């Protein structure tokens, strides 16, 4: 028995030396240690030996069994390491895992589309700070401290004189302060308000527009905004200019477009009115021109502010503005 066990150990280790892959090692393990394996057979025969030989034979059989276990396990580990992982798991015929390709966020897409329309109309793009002085956000726009018009926009105050801009309108002042007329700019970007529900998020996006020159009239405002709406939606979309109030324009108008869902018949989205409010606009107030030392006898201009999320919601029929900011891939993939 002793000789048999020593021979088994010797043969097994020799065979193991020639094993080139995990399958071969596993086959050897079965041959020597499996249910019908050589070592197992020996262990079984121990009970047939004379009692005085049994302890020694049993001890040796277990030693050989353990030694071979260790040798097989180590051989497997070595082979798998040199192959860079469990060989069985590598199927070179499997198709590769695709990397999801990113794309432009629907709000950015809508903003770019809107900007492109104004670029074609001769406007230039400018950008400015999101953390803004109270002076530009309010005061220079004819909204003095403690003026009731400040209630129109719930403001995030950083300090007494610094706010998160509540609209892109401060860019009007920043631009005019730096250059004389003619001015023809748009200013896209994020704005912030203390507001949160299905149609409001604390951060959203606007595009500001400003055109100042000699002889600019309300007709120019109507022409530019009509072109914008027709290119953003379609030529069939009717517009309506509704008298309104903004401290920095006089006269002021809110622009409604014919409901893109029901085509003006009246539905849930347009609260049965057939119209949807899309932007604020007006002729630049002389008080604003005075802040930037423009000659109010010589120059006139118009300004407008469009909500980008609002346009995107109408364009794509989205009923909850928060969807744009949840970053759900299933939603974003549709654009």
280 belongs to the binding site for ligand DAH (CB under 6 A): yes
246 belongs to the binding site for ligand DAH (CB under 6 A): yes
The half-sphere exposure of 335 on its side-chain side, counting CA atoms within 13 A, is: 22
247 belongs to the binding site for ligand DAH (CB under 6 A): no
Q: Helix crossing, 218-232 with 106-120: angle to 10°?
A: 130
Report 48-87 residues binding ligand DAH (CB under 6 A). none
Task: Please identify which residue in 169, 237, 258, 300 interacts with ligand DAH, judged by CB under 6 A.
Answer: 169
110 belongs to the binding site for ligand DAH (CB under 6 A): no
Closest contact distance (angstroms) between CB of 332 and ligand DAH is 26
Q: Which is nearer to ligand DAH, 142 or 249 (CB)?
A: 249
256 belongs to the binding site for ligand DAH (CB under 6 A): no
Task: Please identify which residue in 281, 289, 300, 321 interacts with ligand DAH, judged by CB under 6 A.
Answer: 281
Binding mask 120-159 for ligand DAH (x = CB under 6 A): ----------------------------------------
Stretch that binds ligand DAH, among 130-138, 222-230, 262-270, 303-311 (CB under 6 A): 303-311
Closest contact distance (angstroms) between CB of 170 and ligand DAH is 9
Q: Which is nearer to ligand DAH, 29 or 165 (CB)?
A: 165
303 belongs to the binding site for ligand DAH (CB under 6 A): yes
Give the residue from 309, 301, 308 showing the smallest Cα distance to 123.
Answer: 301
Give the residue from 169, 152, 134, 140 showing the smallest Cα distance to 244.
Answer: 152
Radius of gyration of the chain (CA): 39
Closest contact distance (angstroms) between CB of 196 and ligand DAH is 17
For the four alpha carbons of 23, 24, 29 and 30, in that order, the dihedral sign comes to: positive
Closest contact distance (angstroms) between CB of 252 and ligand DAH is 6
Phi, psi angles (nearest 5°) of residue 257: -115, 155
188 belongs to the binding site for ligand DAH (CB under 6 A): no
Stretch that binds ligand DAH, among 95-103, 112-120, 226-234, 279-287 (CB under 6 A): 279-287
- Counting residues that bind ligand DAH (by CB under 6 A) gives 11
Q: How far apart are CA 249 and CA 271, in angstroms?
A: 28
Q: How far apart are CA 303 and CA 306, in angstroms?
A: 10
Closest contact distance (angstroms) between CB of 246 and ligand DAH is 4
| Residue 174: partners with Cβ closer than 8 Å, 6 or more residues away | 126, 128, 136
Task: Please identify which residue in 9, 29, 65, 167 interacts with ligand DAH, judged by CB under 6 A.
Answer: 167
| Residue 85: partners with Cβ closer than 8 Å, 6 or more residues away | none
Give the residue from 283, 135, 152 showing the smallest Cα distance to 209.
Answer: 283
189 belongs to the binding site for ligand DAH (CB under 6 A): no
Asked if residue 57 lies in contact with residue 49, where contact means CB atoms within 8 angstroms, the answer is yes
Stretch that binds ligand DAH, among 97-105, 222-230, 288-296, 299-307 (CB under 6 A): 299-307
Q: Which is nearer to ligand DAH, 28 or 306 (CB)?
A: 306
Give the residue from 184, 179, 177, 186 showing the smallest Cα distance to 209.
Answer: 186
- Hunting for tokens 């030693």 — which residue is that? 63
Asked if residue 186 lies in contact with residue 208, where contact means CB atoms within 8 angstroms, the answer is yes
Positions that interact with ligand DAH (CB under 6 A): 167, 169, 208, 246, 249, 280-282, 303-305
């Amino acid at each position: 028995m002793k000789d048999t066990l020593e021979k088994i150990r010797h043969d097994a280790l020799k065979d193991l030396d020639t094993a080139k892959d995990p399958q071969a090692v596993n086959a050897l393990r079965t041959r020597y240690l499996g249910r019908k394996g050589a070592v197992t057979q020996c262990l079984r025969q121990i009970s047939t030996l004379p009692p005085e030989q049994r302890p020694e034979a049993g001890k040796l059989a277990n030693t050989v069994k353990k030694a071979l276990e260790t040798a097989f396990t180590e051989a497997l580990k070595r082979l798998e390491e040199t192959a860079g992982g469990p060989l069985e798991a590598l199927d070179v015929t499997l198709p590769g895992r695709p990397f999801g390709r990113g794309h432009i966020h629907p709000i950015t897409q809508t903003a770019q589309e809107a900007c492109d329309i104004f670029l074609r109309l001769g406007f230039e793009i400018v950008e400015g700070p999101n953390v803004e002085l109270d002076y530009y956000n309010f005061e220079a726009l004819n909204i003095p401290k403690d003026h009731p018009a400040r209630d129109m926009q719930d403001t995030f105050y950083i300090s007494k004189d610094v706010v998160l801009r509540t609209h892109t309108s401060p860019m009007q002042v920043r631009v005019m302060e730096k250059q004389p007329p003619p001015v023809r700019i748009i200013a896209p970007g994020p704005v912030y308000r203390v507001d949160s529900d299905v149609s409001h998020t604390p951060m959203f996006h606007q595009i500001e527009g400003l055109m100042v020159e000699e002889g600019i009239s309300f007709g120019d405002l109507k022409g530019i905004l009509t072109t914008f709406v027709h290119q953003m939606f379609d030529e069939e979309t009717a517009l309506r200019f509704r008298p309104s109030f903004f401290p920095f324009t006089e006269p002021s108008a809110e622009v409604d477009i014919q409901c893109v869902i029901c085509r003006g018949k009246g539905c849930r989205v347009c609260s049965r009115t057939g119209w949807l409010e899309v932007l604020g606009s007006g002729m630049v107030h002389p008080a604003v021109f005075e802040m930037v030392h423009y000659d109010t006898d010589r120059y006139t201009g118009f300004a407008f502010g469009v909500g980008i999320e609002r346009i995107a919601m109408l364009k794509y029929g989205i009923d909850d503005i928060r969807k744009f900011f949840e970053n759900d891939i299933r939603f974003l993939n549709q654009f």
